Amino acid sequence: MRICDLITSPDPAIRNQSLESWTRNASAAALLTACSELDAFRRTCPNLYERVRALFFLYAIHRFHLPEKLAFTGHSNARGLIPFGGYEQLLHRRFAEAIESFLAVQAKEGPSDGISSALASAYYRLAMQTLADQVRRSVRTVRG
């Protein structure tokens, strides 16, 4: 089963599974592949609920599941430095740009706790910003 099935499946038995049940037996490589799939999905998905759920899945994988798997398998990049430019983008609330910066470092140097932590923060903040933007749009369309 693909991770996006947890978001898009019409079957409630699949859609309502916890992320932890899906990640429990997944390897670090499988989690990284799932993250790539979720990131591509969230970029193209027109459905707000599914897009935000994908962002929160990405946050949870990078924050809670991937670092544990990387430490266990020894695949983590020992340096784990995050790019200063990405950090600045995060501080200036340019979350999509920060994600691009962090993903570029991960692709070049391999996964690490530091990059996963930075990605988790950026995905979480992008999800919250996406929800806040939707609320603003909704409020502006209501007369009163």
Q: Which pLDDT band holds residue 42 (cuts at 50, 70, 90)?
A: very high
Taking each helix axis from N to C end, the angle separating 28-44 and 48-60, rounded to the nearest 10 degrees, works out to: 150
| pLDDT over 80 at 130, yes or no | yes
Task: Return the domain boundaries, the chain.
Answer: 5-141
Read off the amino acid at residue 73: T
Cα separation, 60 vs 18, in Å, equals 11
User: Under 8 Å CB-to-CB from 136, ≥6 apart: which residues?
Assistant: none
pLDDT tens digits for range 7-30: 999 999 999 999 999 999 999 999
Whether 116 contacts 63, CB under 8 Å: yes
Record the tokens describing residue 14, joined without a space.
């699949």
| pLDDT over 90 at 55, yes or no | yes
pLDDT of residue 38: 99
Q: Taking CA 71 as the corner, what is the angle to CA 30 and CA 51, rounded to the nearest 5 degrees?
A: 45
Taking each helix axis from N to C end, the angle separating 66-73 and 28-44, rounded to the nearest 10 degrees, works out to: 150
Helices (H), 45-112: 48-60, 66-73, 84-91, 95-109
pLDDT tens digits for range 71-106: 877 666 666 789 999 999 999 999 999 999 999 999
Q: Which pLDDT band holds residue 121 (cuts at 50, 70, 90)?
A: very high
| pLDDT over 80 at 144, yes or no | no
Q: What number is the average pLDDT over the span 26-40? A: 98
Compute the mean pLDDT over every residue in the chain, rounded to the nearest whole number.
94
Cα separation, 75 vs 4, in Å, equals 25
Q: Which of 24-28, 36-40, 54-58, 119-123 has the lowest mean pLDDT?
A: 24-28
- For the entire predicted model, the pTM comes to 0.94
